[in-house]
Amino acid sequence: MRKILSLLMGITLLLSAVGAMSEAVDLNSYTLDEIIAKAMEEGHVESVGMPDSWANWGDSWKGLTETYGITHTDDDMSSAEELSMFQNAYTRDIGDIGLGFITQALENDLVQGYKTSYWDTVPQWAKGEDGKWMIAYNGATSFIYNNDLTSDPMPLSWADVREGSYKLTIGDVVGGATGQGVVVATAYAFGGDLDNLEPAYEFWTEMAKAGRIDSGAILLARIQAGEVECGVSWSYNVLTYRDNTPNYNLTVGIPNDGAILVGYASVISKNSDTPFAAALAREFIFSDEGQINLAKSGAVPTRTDVTIPQEVIDATFDPSTYANAVGISDAAHYGEACEEISDWWAENIIPLLGG
């Protein structure tokens, strides 16, 4: 499925490129002062998949506006949808895609580079050539459990989930990085890894046949409406969902037998109409303030030279809770696993869900 989508994307990209008005600028050839000046002239940046509620992007967008006067809008969408948007000339400027979608972005020549002034403080595994992608933060696989909707106890592990009776909400697996990450986590939980996904396939087939998969999206509005019994997402999302749902008794936690720590990559569209504003947005995201903003959500900032205030740590997940999570640092390897998962889910699970 992903291979077919990638091929179609490449064909569409070729056709749209014929009508492109100009080549992408070389952002790395400008000084930071020049980028700031040109970004302020552009005055606006449009993102995809970076809504205020995801990883506390809201504080960073607010900071960008207050500091530089640059306004912002976002359209929330999956990683696959983001890249589809990037293929069109002058539609959106910057996005945040799952680790497994980096190869697709590069192969289809959808992104342009900007290394930021913090380049040397970002680990080598978390950045691509010329800054065509940079990972600003990681998240750990996490549960969010509605204690008011089921009599089962809050799961502490995937083994607990297997013994439960509640439905699981993990969102889109065919085109969504979050859902694919959940499937990878269950591979590790039951003895597999990126090269052995069979334990995950066995588990999710069991869940589907038992009618325990909720095919809807894992969104704040659905959680607030009481439509999610047990959701699985990233650490920074479940905290936001919990803190913004006062009408239900929600518990969050990181599974002790199968959690992965995965980053999302900042990507700038090669067809951006305001590339300097996009570059400055990335600059702000990697600044000390931007990294702390991410930490406030429960995300794990990529830069290790930034001191996170103790009150932020106290209000989120203590690092000890994800100390045993499997860190994923090989984007290509992870991408191959996610592509396999996407195809397998479409062929094997969606038919069981009646989709």
- What digits encode the pLDDT tens for the residues 177-193? 999 999 999 999 999 99
* β-strand pairing of 213-214 with 168-169: parallel
pLDDT for the residue 13: 42
Q: Give the chain's mean pLDDT.
A: 92
Tokens of 104: 């697709």
Q: What is the mean pLDDT of residues 326-352?
A: 95
Q: Report pTM.
A: 0.85
- CA dist 78 and 4 (Å) reads 17
* β-strand pairing of 134-146 with 250-253: antiparallel
pLDDT for the residue 18: 38
Please check whether residue 278 is in contact with residue 38, taking contact to mean a CB–CB distance below 8 angstroms: no
Q: How confident is the model at residue 355 (pLDDT cuts 50, 70, 90)?
A: low
Q: What is the mean pLDDT of residues 258-279?
A: 96
* β-strand pairing of 44-48 with 71-75: parallel
- What digits encode the pLDDT tens for the residues 125-148? 999 999 999 999 999 999 999 999
- What digits encode the pLDDT tens for the residues 80-119? 999 999 987 667 999 999 998 999 999 999 999 999 999 9
- Give, in order, the Cα–Cα distances in Å from 223 to each of 75, 109, 226, 340: 20, 37, 5, 29
Q: What is the mean pLDDT of residues 329-355?
A: 94
**Delimiting residues of CATH 3.40.190.10 domain(s) in the chain:** 2-137+262-318, 139-260+322-353
pLDDT for the residue 16: 42
Q: What is the mean pLDDT of residues 13-26?
A: 53
Q: What is the mean pLDDT of residues 262-290?
A: 97
- What digits encode the pLDDT tens for the residues 193-249? 999 999 999 999 999 999 999 999 999 999 999 999 999 999 999 999 999 999 999
Nearest 5°: the CA angle 227, 84, 272 is 115
Q: How confident is the model at residue 21 (pLDDT cuts 50, 70, 90)?
A: very low
Res 3 pLDDT > 60 = no
What count of other Cβ atoms lies within 10 Å of the Cβ of residue 210? 12
pLDDT for the residue 225: 98
Q: What is the CATH number of domain 139-260+322-353?
A: 3.40.190.10
- Give, in order, the Cα–Cα distances in Å from 217 to each of 97, 157, 168, 346: 17, 22, 11, 16
Cα dihedral across residues 272, 275, 277, 283: positive or negative: positive
Task: Say how many residues make up the chain.
Answer: 355
Q: What is the mean pLDDT of residues 246-275?
A: 96
Res 10 pLDDT > 70 = no
- Give, in order, the Cα–Cα distances in Å from 354 to each of 113, 214, 348, 349: 42, 11, 11, 9
pLDDT for the residue 53: 87
Report the interhelical angle of 177-189 vs 198-209 (nearest 10°): 110
- What digits encode the pLDDT tens for the residues 99-109? 989 999 999 99
Position 11, amino acid: I
Q: How confident is the model at residue 20 (pLDDT cuts 50, 70, 90)?
A: very low
Per CATH, domain 2-137+262-318 is 1.10.1060.10:
no
Helix (H) or strand (E) holding 266: strand 260-269
Q: What is the mean pLDDT of residues 36-55?
A: 96
Q: How confident is the model at residue 52 (pLDDT cuts 50, 70, 90)?
A: very high
